[in-house]
Amino acid sequence: MNKIVTENAPKAIGPYSQGMVFENLVFSSGQIPVNPATGEIEGTTIETQAAQSCKNVAAVLEAAGSSMERVIKTTCFLADMADFPVFNQIYETYFVSSPARSCVAVKTLPKNVLCEIEAIAYKE
């Protein structure tokens, strides 16, 4: 296994890595909408936060030699399922391969953000 480390995604805020590579599979840790340049939460709306979370997933995948087009499965967490339609609009612009997905509402997310996304992808 190889640990993924990139400055283009938020640093881990606990005892975990940004992601791991096992053979040709890439597993990203859940990405919340932290802007890696500032360390701050990006925006207050689901649109802005979903976009930043997607960008963070993309950065982790790219650091591992993969891409958004190679995502097999995602798991998405929403603080409010009422945000589901808008979240989907943002999500589909980034995850163009329409990977398998689970999307659930949770009581609270780290730093009280509105969404978190994790992904499994492959690399050549």
Active site residues: 103
Inter-residue contact 29 to 60 (CB < 8 Å): yes
Q: Which two tokens stand for residue 34?
A: 């932290």
> What is the DSSP code (8-state) at residue 10?
P
Angle subtended by helix axes 84-94 and 46-63, to nearest 10: 30
CA atoms of 23 and 100, how far apart (whole Å): 20
Please choose, from the candidates 124, 83, 103, 122, the residue with its C-alpha nearest in 3D space to the C-alpha of residue 30. 103
